[in-house]
Amino acid sequence: MGTRPWIVDDDLWALIEPLLPPWPQKGPGPRPVADRRCLQGILYVLYNDIAWQLLPPELGFGSGQTCWRRLDRWQKAGVFDQLHRILLAELHAAGALDWSRACVDGPHPREKGGAKTGPSPVDRRKTGSKHHLICDGRGTPLKVITTAANVNDVTQTLALVDGIPPVAGRPGRPRQRPVALLGDKGYDSNPNRAALRQRKILPVISRKGAPNIKGMGKLRYVVEQTFALLHQFKRLAVRWERRPELHDAFVSLACGLICWRRLKKTAGP
């Protein structure tokens, strides 16, 4: 992404711009800051985890409040979820998604406060949030859910599976289901296994009190890599947004950017 990863290149902007809700042609007050500049301000915060009011004015992104309001407006319009879905379709069309298996996991980030928080399982005196992730067999993020830190991983298994968006890009019906789902012992649940089989998904989940399934670690390492990529966006490693929908906006944007990087690698120079 270069030394200034918050800069939006022309190809990425060509995907994002049509998704943005239009501004009224004749609105009161001064002309709003250009959408592309506001997006770059949002990305600057996402990458560097600074307070909105500390956004450097000399970079031309507008004020932190301007970028914050634009983030809120775009999240309500579903911009970032649409971008993620479009990029998944592009990857699917390029044959870059591995539907033979999906992997789930749920380590938790540190937390400042807000909704969707609960006692941390590590330190009961502190509140925290947790990201639950499902990715394809190559580590491409398909769905991320944010919950309180004390929510058990197993409770989010079906929500993650059912939350995978229909992915177009190839002839026939959009793809939405992996062949198999891989999970560690935190996802051990016979009712969930039955529900996955009803969805025609093979559960490959280690059982508590039994040895791990042979070779599981080598197959599941991709989900740990994806979490590492996700939390390279410093705003996600420590959740500052008290409003969960704004944190979710950052998460969806980060997933889209991970997909964008992979798509560029697939396309080659």
Residue 167 pairs in a beta bridge with 175
Residue 34 one-letter amino acid:
A
* C-alpha closest to that of 120 among 253, 239, 220, 268: 239
Please list the ranges in the chain whose pLDDT falls under 70: 1-2, 25-31, 107-128, 210-218, 239, 268-269
Supply the pLDDT for residue 69: 92
**What is the predicted pLDDT for the residue at 117?**
45
Which residues have C-beta within 8 Å of that of residue 73, sequence separation ≥ 6? 21
Cα angle for residues 23, 27, 30 (degrees, 5° grid): 100
Confidence at residue 202, expressed as pLDDT on a 0 to 100 scale: 96
pLDDT of residue 3: 73
Q: Which of 141, 119, 124 is nearest to 236 (CA)?
A: 141
pTM for the complete prediction? 0.87
pLDDT given at position 215 = 63
| Whole-number average pLDDT of the chain | 86
**Residue 212 confidence (pLDDT):** 66
pLDDT at 110: 47
Strand ranges for 71-213 from DSSP E: 102-105, 110-111, 118-119, 127-136, 141-148, 180-183, 202-205
Joined together, the tokens standing for residue 146 give 């944010």
Q: If we measure between CA atoms, which residue out of 261, 253, 97 comes closest to residue 175?
A: 97
Return the structure tokens found at 45.
Answer: 């915060």
Residue 191 has a CB neighbour count (10 Å cut-off) of: 10
- Please report the domains of the chain, with CATH numbers, ordered by start residue: 10-76 (no CATH), 98-239 (3.30.420.10)
Read out DSSP for 80-108? HHHHHHHHHHHHHHTT---TT-EEEE---
Instruction: Name the residue among 207, 203, 204 with its Cα closest to residue 185.
Output: 207
**Residue 121 confidence (pLDDT):** 42
- Could you tell me which residues are beta bridge partners of residue 132? 145
